Amino acid sequence: MDHQAIETDVVVVGYGSAGAAAAITANDHGARVLVLEKMPAGGGNSRLSAAMLISATGPGAVQHVDALCFGKTNRKVIEAYVDGCMKIKDWIREMGGDTVIYQNPVVTYPTSGFPCWPNVPGWEHTELLRVAGGAGDELPAMPLWRLLTHNVERRGIKVMTGTPARNLVTNQKGEVVGVVAEGKQGEISIQAQKAVILTCGGFEYNEEMKDAFLPLTPIYAIGNPGNTGDGIAMALEVGAALWHMNAFHGWFVFKASEYEAAFTIRFHTPGFIYVDKDGRRFANEMGSEVHEVSKMVMSFMPHRPNHPHLPAYAIFSDTTRRKGPLSGIVSGANDYKWSLDNSKEVAKGWITMGRTTGELARRISVNEENLTKTVARYNEYCKMGRDIEFDRSRETLEPVEGAPVYAIEIWPGVGTTSGGPRWDREARVVNRQGKPIPRLYAAGGVSSMWGFLTLSGGGLSDAIVFGRIAGQNAAAEERWM
């Protein structure tokens, strides 16, 4: 195997939105930049996302973000984030793009709108955007990703795909001065004269890390299979502190055995309920922001035998089945096109059909008496206009009635983990004593600022805002030799 040596100013490890923003910004501030990407192509989770961005319209957004982080994120970091969000529209325009106010074109029932957290102070100082220019049925993230890659390419920034970083290199002063990567022809030693920026995704596909840090198990990933916690491991080796390791956002998902990634499940009309393995409802199905739905199964109800038993099931009517694809609102990593009326998935056995609720219960091995009573009780609530058990809002009480009736098995799913190396408002990775590790920066999924709840669009905005901050500060470093 050959050994290759490369020298540059800034090495960016990971080519998603954070990596692209960091590379563009470092280049524009005079640095020579090299981007390493583990997978055959860039994009990461950014390319699979709903591509929503947060634009802060006033400093009151700090209060909103601070409340959603539940005190888990330093106030100065939040202030830097909101300041960056106030500039995000201008930066998109500088890149040659434009933004439009986000409108959900698919889900129409009342809890699908923005703001996501209207009862949390400061929401009125935020707005939800998308980059304009989507075409046909392409992935919603493509306009943003096209814009970013175009700007990387026209600057001549070198991107090495299929080249995973393995280790960070430090000198006797403890400065991060390079990266060892695995190239197609062998090991590559890359000297970074100014800095290294970690932008290489979270740990959604690292089963050991998920078991150690996330509060649910099993929890299936939906996104980029390259997200195996590599950046976290490298940062720990040079003494980085960690933060937000138990935080994540995700959906309920369906896991088909023939696909590595799970499929997100979300309905186009509210004619459905969630039940656990015992056939009982366990939550207000409309009571959570979309990114936090899978946390419903963390509820412990002492008046019942235990917490919700998994797998859970979504139970829905034929009317709901015909309203639109259960998977497709948020793109996943699988190369599969879900049918518009879910008929193909019924034929595949992914969705189970029963002529009656009792027959459906037998087919999914759920207690028949419990499920029959649960559905009947919910339908009665719909007639009453009041959900006595879980206080689901009146306007979302759409019955599950008629024949046939359907079920799909659902599990907790993770879109992006938040935890990773802790960093400060300058995107500098810090050690366990809170001191910056010289010449090491981080942004994006490798370590998010979101400490508890993740605002819709918040993760992608986080990647761009702190990718830009990291790129600018990395370029400003003095060359070490």
Asked if residue 426 is part of any domain, the answer here is yes
Please count the helices (runs of H) and the strands (runs of E) in the chain: 12, 22
Q: How confident is the model at residue 194 (pLDDT cuts 50, 70, 90)?
A: very high
Low-confidence winner among 31-45, 54-68, 458-472 (lowest mean pLDDT): 54-68
Q: Are 368 and 453 in a shared domain? A: no
Cα–Cα nearest to 115, from 130, 105, 127, 107 = 127
The predicted structure's pLDDT at residue 329: 62
d(CA 334, CA 48): 10
Confidence of residue 113 (pLDDT cuts 50, 70, 90): low
Q: How many domains does the chain have?
A: 2
Which pLDDT does position 145 carry in this prediction?
95
- pLDDT for 193: 98
**Distance (Å, rounded) from C-alpha 453 to C-alpha 278?**
29
Query: How high is the pLDDT of residue 102?
Result: 75
Q: Are residues 32 and 163 in the same domain?
A: yes
* 141 vs 409, more confident: 409
pLDDT digits (tens, 9 = 90+) for 312-353: 999 999 999 999 999 976 657 888 999 999 999 999 999 999
pLDDT of residue 101: 83
Answer yes or no: do 233 and 276 share one domain.
no
| The predicted structure's pLDDT at residue 476 | 98
Same domain, 404 and 448: no
Confidence of residue 48 (pLDDT cuts 50, 70, 90): confident
Cα–Cα dist 95/76, whole Å: 27
Q: Please report the pLDDT score of residue 202 as a whole number.
A: 96
CA-to-CA distance for 313 and 338, rounded, in angstroms?
19
| pLDDT score recorded for residue 103 | 59
Do 188 and 118 belong to one domain?
yes
Q: Is the pLDDT of residue 147 over 60?
A: yes
State pLDDT tens for residues 230-254: 999 999 999 999 999 999 988 899 9
Q: What are the strands, taking DSSP E only, across 145-185? A: 158-160, 165-170, 176-183
CA distances from residue 316 to 79, 104, 398, 406 in whole angstroms, order as listed: 43, 22, 10, 5
* CA pair distance 102, 104, nearest whole angstrom: 7
Of the candidate ranges 3-7, 139-143, 438-442, the one whose mean pLDDT is the lowest: 139-143
Which DSSP symbol is given to 180? E
pLDDT of residue 306: 56
User: Residue 284's domain is classified under what CATH number?
Assistant: 3.90.700.10
According to the model, what pLDDT value does residue 297 have? 85
pLDDT of residue 330: 65
Q: What is the dihedral of CA 459, 465, 470, 472, to 10 degrees?
A: 160
Query: What number is the average pLDDT over the span 31-59?
Result: 91
Residue 481 is assigned to a structural domain of this protein: no
Share of the chain above pLDDT 70, in %: 94
* Other CB atoms within 10 A of residue 264 CB: 25
CA 298 from centroid of its chain's CA atoms: 19
Q: What are the DSSP calls for 294-339, one per residue?
A: GGGGG---TTSSSSPPSSEEEEEEHHHHTTS-SS-SS--SS-----
Spell out the residues 6+ positions from residue 241 whose beta carbon is closer than 8 angstroms to its own.
Answer: 421, 422, 430, 431, 432, 434
C-alpha to C-alpha distance for 471 and 19, rounded to whole angstroms: 9
Examine residue 212 and state whether it is found in any structural domain, yes or no. no
Distance CA 338, CA 97 (A): 30
- Residues 17, 121: one domain? yes
329 — phi, psi (to 5°)? -70, -45
Instruction: Provide the H-helix boundaries in 5-101.
Output: 17-28, 61-68, 75-86, 88-94
Of the residues 414, 436, 453, which one is the last residue of a structural domain?
Answer: 414
409 half-sphere exposure, CB direction, 13 A CA radius: 16
Q: Establish if 427 belongs to a structural domain.
A: yes
Residue 246 maps to a domain: no
Q: What is the arithmetic mean of pLDDT over 28-32?
A: 98
CA diameter of the chain? 75
Range of the domain at 356: 252-414
Out of 382, 397, 414, a domain closes at: 414
Alpha helices, DSSP H only, in 166-251? 207-213, 230-237
Q: Is the residue at 154 inside a domain?
A: yes
Same domain, 280 and 164: no
Cα separation, 288 vs 293, in Å, equals 6
φ and ψ at residue 260, rounded to 5 degrees: -70, -45
- Give 136: exposed, middle or buried? Use CB within 10 Å, 0-12, 13-18, 19+: exposed
Whether pLDDT at 117 is above 80: no
Looking at the chain, the whole-number percentage of residues with pLDDT higher than 90 is 76
CATH number of the domain enclosing 149: 3.50.50.60
Does the pLDDT of residue 426 top 80, yes or no?
yes
Query: Are residues 404 and 440 located together in one domain of the fold?
Result: no
Q: Give the pLDDT score at 307.
A: 65
Per-residue pLDDT, 290: 77
167 and 269 housed in the same domain: no
| Chain mean pLDDT for the chain | 92
Residue after which a domain boundary falls, among 414, 437, 466: 414
Decide if 164 contacts 36 (C-beta within 8 A): yes
In a domain, 215, yes or no: no
Do 23 and 159 belong together in one domain? Answer: yes
Find, among 52, 27, 165, 5, the residue nearest to 455 by Cα.
52
Residue 183: is its pLDDT beyond 60? Answer: yes
Instruction: Tell me whether residue 247 is in a domain.
Output: no
The pTM of this model reads 0.94
Does residue 380 sit in the same domain as residue 447? no
What's the confidence (pLDDT) of residue 211?
Answer: 95
Specify the pLDDT at position 397. 96
Residues 6+ away with beta carbon under 8 Å from 325: 268, 338, 339, 340, 341, 342
160 and 285 assigned to the same domain? no
Cis geometry, peptide bond prior to residue 110 (ω within 30 degrees of 0):
no
Segment 163-167 shows an average pLDDT of 97
